[in-house]
Each structure stands twice: as structure tokens, then as C-alpha cells.
Amino acid sequence: MNQIGHLAGATMQCAGQSSSEAGRRAQRCRSCTVRKNALFVGLSPTELDEIAPAVPDIVVPAGETLYDAESRADSLFIIRRGVVKLVNYLPDGSYRIVRLARRTDVLALETLLGEPCDHTAEALTEVEVCRVPIGVVRMVMERQAWLSTRMIHHWHLAVQTAHGWLTRYATGGARQRMARFLADLHDECVSEACPRPCFEVPSRDDVGAILGITKETASRLISDFRRSGLLCKVDARRIEVDRERLEEVAAAEA
Amino acid sequence: MNQIGHLAGATMQCAGQSSSEAGRRAQRCRSCTVRKNALFVGLSPTELDEIAPAVPDIVVPAGETLYDAESRADSLFIIRRGVVKLVNYLPDGSYRIVRLARRTDVLALETLLGEPCDHTAEALTEVEVCRVPIGVVRMVMERQAWLSTRMIHHWHLAVQTAHGWLTRYATGGARQRMARFLADLHDECVSEACPRPCFEVPSRDDVGAILGITKETASRLISDFRRSGLLCKVDARRIEVDRERLEEVAAAEA
DNA sequence: CGCCACATTGATTTGGGTCAAGCGACGTGG
DNA sequence: CCACGTCGCTTGACCCAAATCAATGTGGCG
């Protein structure tokens, strides 16, 4: 429907067509700290300047849709900041979240194969993404063989993550699954080198859609964890967890 | 442990070192009906003859392990016949099956990235695979750019399958999940153009490990489906299902 | 024949779903 | 500025589906 329109709009917002805008983008790409983890790690500064103008960066507010399932995208999205959920809607209106994507993750890879998007991608927090037209990707791929390998790594990451979700979030009791999920969020946070490892938990509905439980059960479990001292609020939105004890709960065979 | 040894043994069995063996393999590759769906669709007969000698075909009896998680493989495996389960073992000894692979599927893709195997692969039925050394794959990739795209398709397939499992086999009640699973097995069977669409259901333990339920629940559901006329045995191992009604059960919102 | 692995079925318990009420935070409009 | 409505979270009461524990059945094989 309108997510393309939305993005086009957003693009226009920050695009302009002036050479100063192109210059800004070049500067952005040169100093980008995400790049080395994502696609274009091997490009020379010159090459970078060449593609930068064609790669708009977009800020998407929380709750907005990046793209819809079944739609045709013409770009990949590299996440620079924020969290995006990839959602599969079921015929009966309920939904299942199959992945959370963050900094350095690349979305809509299927576009490169000429296929429609596999999921709906919604911003969970405010998100900043670079929209890389597939034409640019193809061009770089032709000139730089390593990009294929680079791309494959992202695919493989997607496979590993999905299998991880199957074994960790869809196996065992709700309590274990919640413990594993919170532990993973914690680790994610640690790996980003936050000074104090605290993080934001998605809405109860979303947690439910991740773990395959109801929002009520999700709520109960979190409350229960708090009462047991497994976690505590650090402010209105963020929490801090006891990683050790969480791990015990996650492994409990009862 | 010994899966490498086992494969080496199997390789030796059907390898020999005679030129007649090489000839047999060349013939096998030329007439291979799997090839067009798997990796080497674009090779000329000459090129095919070139790599064929380096690609042993192996028969693995039901129950045997192709390779173990964490192990280092030096080959990809292309399945020519049979069904393989990819398993993740959990610390407590239980296990979760994350994928079923069959004809034309390519296993141990992670090997190509230099990573250890992500799962344990066990033959569910007797299985026939071609073991393609990564050296061969790399060589062909260098010469034939299309192979990268080809490989990526297999990765993407793995992602789609895994996400499909999350939404179909890990969402909703046990009854719905079982119905979806049997429907999928049926479709799989149809797509292979069996004259009569009947198929073999894995052991109750395995079904449990696929759907995240216990073997007892799996058994009860199947018995129940049979009593409801949703399925019937066609021989000791194979069953036939009522695809239509199965679909209804799978979609039921209650 | 007897063993063993696997499937089925039953009895019982319990985890988590469902339905429903209350609560606090926030934004809007009077 | 406060009243009100909305939305998401929490908590409770109840009930059902699925796990658990356990016994019996069945087919294959040495």
C-alpha cells in the first residue's frame, strides 16, 4: 500500500538533489561505523564517494512500516540504529515475529533474488536505515567479488538466527523461553558495549508473538521475574537482569 | 566422533580408484536429474566430466549420522534420495529438529564460510547423497559467476523454511500444528509427482521434536486424526491424508 | 520364543489460555 | 488545569489442552 510512498517521501525529505546533499552522504559513508560490519567493508574511499549519493539514509519513527510482506522492494535496508521486527501475519489476524533486526543487520535480502518481501518490517523503536538500491548492490558485486561472500554471511546469519529462535524460543516451557529471550536481549546489549547492561523490552504483545505465548502470560512471567529478583526496572522503559540466574531458569529441566 | 570416518569408509566403498569408477561417476552426473535443481545446472558436459570424479556418491542407512554439530566438514552434501533431519541438541539432552531436507537440498552450506556445522544431520530414511568437496565448489565458483547466485538461493530457501517452521509449527495449538505438518508432508509428496500421494510419517519422537510437543501428544493426535477420517494407513508405514479437511483444522481459530 | 524399540491409550496433574476487572500513564478536549 | 477516554500492563478466577506418569499393545529380529 503506502509504505513505498512513505519511504519515497522520507527519501525526498533527506535527499534533496543538491550537490551539498551528495557531499553530506559521502561524508556520512566515509565515517560510517556500521559499514565495516555490513556490506561495503572493502570499498576504497573513491568508490564509496561514487555510490554514496545513491544511498539515502532514512529515519523511521517507532511503529511505522519499512515494507510490507508480498510487496516488491527495490532496495536493501541496512540498519544503523534502532530495532526492527520482521513479522508474519497469519490468516486469522494473529501474527508471529520471526526476527528482531538491529544495527548492521541487512533487511529485504530476498529483493536481490527478485522475490517479493517475505515479511512485514516494522520499526520497534525509532530506526535509522540506509536504503541501498539493488542496482548499486549489483554494480558493486560485479566489480568486487568479495561482496558475494559478504552477502552470503548475512543470509547465513538469518538462517542461524531463525534456527536459534526455533530451539530457544519455541522449545520448553514459557518460563524457560522468557528467560532465554531476556538473556539474549541482555547479551545483545552487552555486545554493543553499553556502559551499564540494561535494555528495553518490547510490548507484551510483541513478546508474546516472539515466544508463542499470550500477552497475559508474558506479563505474568515478567512480573514474576521481577518479584523473584531476576530483573529490576532501571527507568520507565529499561530493565536490568541477573544474567546468571536467568541462565539457570532457561536451562531448568522442570 | 566417527561420522567422518564413517563417510570416508562409505566413500571408499563406492570410490575405488579405477578409471572405470571415474567413468561411472561421470555417467551418473551427466544423467543426474537432481543436478538441475541443485548447484551445477550451468556446467557443460565437459566441465561436468571434469569434476565428477571428485564427487563421490554415498548411501547412508536410516539412523546414521551424516555429520555432527560443531564438527568441521570439508564438503557439501547434495541429497539425491531420502530424508535427512537437522537436529539441535539442547543442554538437557532433549532435541529440536529445525529442518527436514530431501532431494535437491544442499546441506552443510556453512562449511563454505569456513564455519563448523550448525547441526547434527541424521538420515531419517535410507539416504543417497553426493559429497562435493568445497575445493570443487570454490573452483567452479571462480569460473562460473552464476554459482554464487545459485548458492544464495539455497541459503534463502533455508531462511524461508526456518521462518515457515516458526510460523506454522511453533504457533497455535498442537492440533493445528500437526495438521499443518501433515499437510506439508502431503504437498511435499505431491510435488515429487508420486502417483498416489501417500507418505511416511517420522517416529512420534521426531514429530514431537518438530512440533515442540511430546511423543504422547503426537501419537494421540495422529490416532485422533485417523478416527476422524482425516488420514488412513495405506500400508505399515505410509499414510494418506484428506488435504482439504486437514487445512480446515490447520486454520481453525479455536 | 522372548526381547526390544516404538506406538497407543489411560489416569492425573498442571501450565498456560481465556475472560474479565482494575490500574496507571498519557494525550485530548472542554 | 482538570476530566475523561484510550491504551497498554497487571492481576485474578476459571478451565482446558497438553505434559507427565504409567501400563499395555504390537511388530521386527536375533
What Å value separates CA B79 and C1' D28? 28
- pLDDT number for residue B17: 53
Q: Do B88 and A167 touch (CB under 8 A)?
A: yes
**Minimum-distance CB partner of A155 among B115, B156, B212:** B156
| Alpha-carbon gap, residue B132 to B73, rounded angstroms | 11
Which positions of chain B have pLDDT values less than 70?
Answer: 1-19, 37, 254
Which positions in strand D are less than 7 Å from the protein's CB atoms? 8-13, 17-22, 27-28
- pLDDT number for residue A32: 83
What percent of chain A clears pLDDT 70, i.e. is strictly above it?
91
Provide the total of helices (H) and of strands (E) in chain B, helices listed first: 9, 11
Q: Do A159 and B163 touch (CB under 8 A)?
A: no
| Alpha-carbon gap, residue A90 to A101, rounded angstroms | 21
- pLDDT number for residue B14: 46
- pLDDT confidence tier of residue A59, bands split at 50, 70 and 90: very high
Q: Do B156 and A119 touch (CB under 8 A)?
A: no
- Say if CB A78 and CB A129 are below 8 A apart: yes
Nearest CA to A231 among A199, A207, A188, A208?
A199
For helices B146-169 and B204-211, give the axis angle rounded to 10 degrees: 100
Prediction pTM value: 0.90
Which residue of chain A comes nearest to B110, CA vs CA?
Answer: A156
Q: Show residues of chain B in contact with A156, CB under 8 Å.
A: 109-110, 113, 115, 155
- Say if CB B3 and CB B65 are below 8 A apart: yes
Q: Any idea which residue has 525509532 for its cell?
A: A126
- Say if CB A104 and CB A40 are below 8 A apart: no
- Say if CB B167 and CB A96 are below 8 A apart: yes
- Distances from the Cα of A127 to the Cαs of A65, A109, A137, B180, in angstroms? 11, 18, 22, 35
What Å value separates CA A107 and C1' D7? 30
Note the maximum CA span of chain B.
Answer: 64
Q: Model confidence over B65-104: pLDDT tens digits? A: 999 999 999 999 999 999 999 999 988 878 999 999 999 9
DSSP at B173:
-
* Strands lying side by side in the sheet with B127-133: B57-60, B127-133, B75-81, B106-107
Nearest CA to B56 among B90, B17, B84?
B17
Q: What is the DSSP string of A187-229?
A: HHHHHTT-SS-EEEPPPHHHHHHHHTS-HHHHHHHHHHHHHTT
- pLDDT confidence tier of residue A19, bands split at 50, 70 and 90: low
What Å value separates CA A208 and C1' C26? 24
- Those residues of chain B whose CB sits closer than 8 Å to some CB in chain A are 88, 90-92, 94, 96, 98-99, 109-110, 112-113, 115, 118-119, 148-149, 151-153, 155-156, 158-160, 162-163, 165-167, 169-171, 212, 251, 253
- pLDDT number for residue A16: 44
What Å value separates CA A89 and C1' D13? 31
